[in-house]
Homo-oligomer: A and B are copies of this chain.
Amino acid sequence: MGTSKTEFWPKIEFWYEFASTYSYLAAERIQSLAQSNGMDIAWRPFLLGPIFKSQGWDTSPFGIYKAKGNYMWRDIERSADLYGLPFKKSDQVFPQNSILAARIALCLPDADQRGEFSKSAYRAEFSEGQNIAEPQVIAQILNNLGHDSDQLFQQAKSPDIKQALFANTAEAQEKGIFGAPSLITGDGELFWGDDRLEQALNWPKTSP
């Protein structure tokens, strides 16, 4: 009160799936939006596979529903163009197996490091035609970022990290998440989709 400036929550949860095209767009855009509002990002990788399975789908809905899938690729292309982000539909399988990338991300607790790794993986996948299921692709990304890829690969196999990814996915589903990217504000508002990024980040903190 006493000022007309909107107050924001100090932190927002960014829930993302490494195989998701729209998560790529959002991962590239979220940091500058969060920074403008003085907001920290909790990077929360999770797996959509188990959530889709619980809805009776054995793969991405973009694979199951052809018209929706065709549309998605064109929509991503147009949106990437509008945002000035590189995008190339590759010949790789879609959706890519994202378990390794998600586990590696969880080995990097520092938000900046996790964010940088995540964006690099998305770029490899969606603008460089690479397959992030391949360990050498992930190793290259880690080495480029100055990490010790051998050590992180070891850690990624540990029960703790496997359990952390399982727990993230369970928490996502408990919180009502059914797609990626999703965002959750300080007061629990759920937003779904790259096209809700602005709404989520501009969601005002209500006065206590």
CB within 8 Å of B: which residues of A?
55, 65, 67-68, 70-71, 74-75, 78-79, 82, 173, 176-179, 189-193, 195-196, 199
Contact = CB atoms under 8 A, between A and B. Distances in A.
Contacts of A70: 176
B74 A190 contact: yes
Tell me the number of copies of this protein: 2
A71 B176 contact: yes
Nearest to A203: B78
A65 B173 CA distance: 13
Given A71-B178, A79-B199, A195-B195, 12 more contacts: A65-B178, A67-B173, A67-B176, A67-B178, A68-B179, A71-B176, A71-B190, A74-B189, A74-B190, A75-B191, A75-B196, A78-B189
Contacts of A177: 67
A132 to B, nearest CB: 26
A14 to B, nearest CB: 17
